[in-house]
Amino acid sequence: MKALAKRFNYLFRSTRGLTLVAIAVIALITAIWGTLSGPMVEWGIRDITVKVLGMKLVQAEREGRIIMLYHTIAMTVITIEVYFMTEMLPMKRYEQVVINATITVGYLTAVIFGLLFAYWGHNFAFHGLFLLGQSLVFFAGILLAAALWPWKKEYRLEKDSPFTHTKKGVDLERMAFFVMAVATLLSATFGAVTGSYWGNGHETFLAEDLIRTPNKTVLQKAIIGHLHIMLTLIAVAITLIVGRWMKFKGILQKIAMPLMISGTIIITIGALSVVWLEWAHITIYFGSVFVMLAALMYVIYSWDKLIKDRIAELGIKNPNGWQKFKALLHDPLKFGPGWQMVFMNFTVSGVGIFLAIKLEEIFRVWPHREERITLTGHWHILSGLIATIILFYFADLSGLKGKVRKWFGWTVIIMSDLAFGSVTIFSMKRLFVTEAEQQTIVNWTMLLTDIGLALVLVALALFMIWRLYDLFQEKGYWSHELATERKLNAKAGIEEQKRELEELTAILEEESE
């Protein structure tokens, strides 16, 4: 019983344990729901899954099912990002506990009942619980935004701090987190309000199916704005998280944080004003440039840091280009986030810009189904890249070392890029081949995509199996993680209480006078 309680404490009361559970939930969803599409359908696996699990897949409800599936995965990803934030950003211990507890109950409720509703018959009690779960996640977001309030005195930085701040010491990185959290709440509200019209004037649709519809309704535009901005904000959040992880500071951070803050605000306004303004996309482009420049600053900083740290570790005084290059690639987990952001420009941003520039000349000449593949391809890739960055950070938190660290890191980088690169070529194939001559390119890109994704999933599966095996060990790595986190929490608690004591003493003195 004590052993169980210990493990419960680890899994549901520590950041690493909570994150591990959330990643396991996504892995499980991927493993099961991945069998319902792609090559799994061709191999007959889907039929087995549906039969064994007793799923009820009504053809007319496919789009609705997919939307609920996306929401359950998105809720879990947001939860993981919140766990990272509550651990890495200074806040009171009770704030961390309340936020984590609320969001954990929220996302698990949303995932379990959302999937039950979507795939096992429409029991509307399940739909209600799905909404309750999402509401709890939203409520946790409000608590997070309150905890992140950047103007609190105790979180102000010293004047000589290397981290960027205002003249009054307000931490601009914290401000960027805060702005992102508030923008996410606002954008989620947009989705929720539109969702409330479901069955009452609003019908389920996939945005990519409406791309050529000239006169979209207000509700359709609101959903399109909502889904774009939510994914963007998830990307902004992970960029800020890895920046914190790499101790992003100095002149590049000074440039990046104002860009990130203003970019986040501008993109959010742009994406949500799609409902009213014809030219809203220009605002989005404008904000995107700001956010992407901020990400570029992070990439330059992190790569420079990786090189300098490794060169210093090796004790090389005058390194040549090759030694610097090797130093950059030494740690794939820390190199990965920056690289994936760079790679994103070829597979997401680049494709998007090319699509916008050549819309009339190329993409709108293709049939809708071809344009649709490009659209769905580029945002699936963005989601995939975000997922790999989360994995890099969590693998580092999990203490992967030596060859395992390198194998895991490089497998995820190379294989995900192989898959995403192949998907990009597949989605743009009409630029190179006609429909009649496409078979070779389709075969190759599909095969490389499958190999890439399969090996990333194998790497993730091995990692999760190790973590599961470790949980059964009395003195496993988990116990070390738990002990370390408890110590850190205890120290932070003492510091917090000291500060509080000082504050209370000051109040007493002030009132006595």
Partner 1 sequence: MKRIFFILVLIALFAAACTPAPDIGNLTPPYVDTGVDPETWATVPAGEFPYGQHDHMTMVDYDYEIMVTDVTNEQYANFLNDALAAGRISIGAVEVEAGENVRLVEGVAGYYPGDPFDGYDHEVEIKAGEKLYVPLDEGSLRLVFDGEAFSAMPEYANHPMTMVTWFGANAYCEFYGYRLPTEIEWEKAARGTEIVNGHGLPFPWGEEIKGNNANYYSSSDLFEKMYGKLGDTTPVGFYNGKTYEGYETLDSASPYGLYDMAGNVWQWTGDDYPDQHYRYMRGGSFYSYEVDLRVWKNNSAGPQFYSPSVGFRCAR
| Residue number with CB closer to partner 1 (362 or 397) | 362
State in angstroms the smallest separation of the CB of 61 from partner 1: 8
Residues 115/68, Cβ–Cβ less than 8 Å = yes
User: What distance in Å separates the CA atoms of residue 128 and residue 130, rounded to the nearest whole number?
Assistant: 5
* Phi, psi angle pair for 110, to nearest 5°: -65, -45
Residue of the chain from 1, 436, 510, 512 that contacts partner 1 (CB under 8 A)? 436
Task: Give whichever of 447 and 494 is closer to partner 1, judged by the CB atom.
Answer: 447
CA distance 248 to 485: 23
The stretch near partner 1 (CB under 8 A) out of 90-98, 207-215, 250-258, 470-478 is: 207-215
What are the Cα distances from residue 159, in Å, to 82, 229, 365, 487, 499?
28, 35, 58, 29, 20
What number of chain residues touch partner 1 (CB under 8 A)?
36
> Closer CB to partner 1, residue 50 or residue 492?
50
H/E element, 382: helix 368-397
Q: Are 78 and 234 in contact (CB under 8 A)?
A: yes
> From the list 212, 401, 403, 475, which residue makes contact with partner 1 (rule: CB under 8 A)?
212
Check residue 442 for interaction with partner 1 (CB under 8 A).
yes
Question: And the tokens for 407?
Answer: 């194998």
In Å, how far are 207, 228, 234, 274, 398 from 221, measured between CA atoms? 9, 11, 20, 6, 42
Long-range contacts, stretch 127-136, CB < 8 angstroms, 24+ apart: 130/68, 133/75, 133/105, 133/106, 133/107, 133/108, 133/109, 134/71, 134/75, 134/106, 134/110, 134/192, 135/106, 136/102, 136/103, 136/105, 136/106, 136/107, 136/109, 136/110
Q: Does 210 bind partner 1 (CB under 8 A)?
A: no
Give SS3 for 258: helix
> Which residues within the stretch 11-50 sit at the binding site for partner 1 (CB under 8 A)?
41-42
Q: Indicate which single residue of 123, 189, 443, 473 sits in contact with partner 1 (rule: CB under 8 A).
A: 443
Quick check: 367 binds partner 1 (CB under 8 A)?
yes
Rounded to whole angstroms, how far apart are CA atoms 406 and 190? 42
Interaction mask 165-204, partner 1, x per CB under 8 A: --------------------------------------xx
Q: Using the rule CB under 8 A, which residue among 53, 97, 359, 461 binds partner 1? A: 359
Q: Is 474 exposed, middle or buried (0-12, 13-18, 19+ CB in 10 A)?
A: exposed
Residue 366 interacting with partner 1 (CB under 8 A): yes
Q: In terms of CB distance, is 154 or 435 closer to partner 1?
A: 435
Site string for partner 1, 130-149 (x = CB under 8 A): --------------------
Please say which residue, 361 or 511, places its beta carbon nearer to partner 1: 361
User: Which span (56-64, 83-91, 247-255, 398-406) binds partner 1, by CB under 8 A?
Assistant: 56-64
The DSSP letter of residue 171 is B
Distance of alpha carbon 127 from alpha carbon 39, whole angstroms? 30
**Window 371-430: residues binding partner 1 (CB under 8 A):** none
**Which residue, 300 or 446, has its beta carbon nearer to partner 1?**
446
Residue 308 or 368 having the CB closest to partner 1? 368
Task: Summarize as ranges the residues that interact with partner 1 (CB under 8 A).
Answer: 41-42, 58-60, 62-63, 203-204, 212, 214-215, 278, 359-362, 364-369, 434-440, 442-444, 447-448, 451
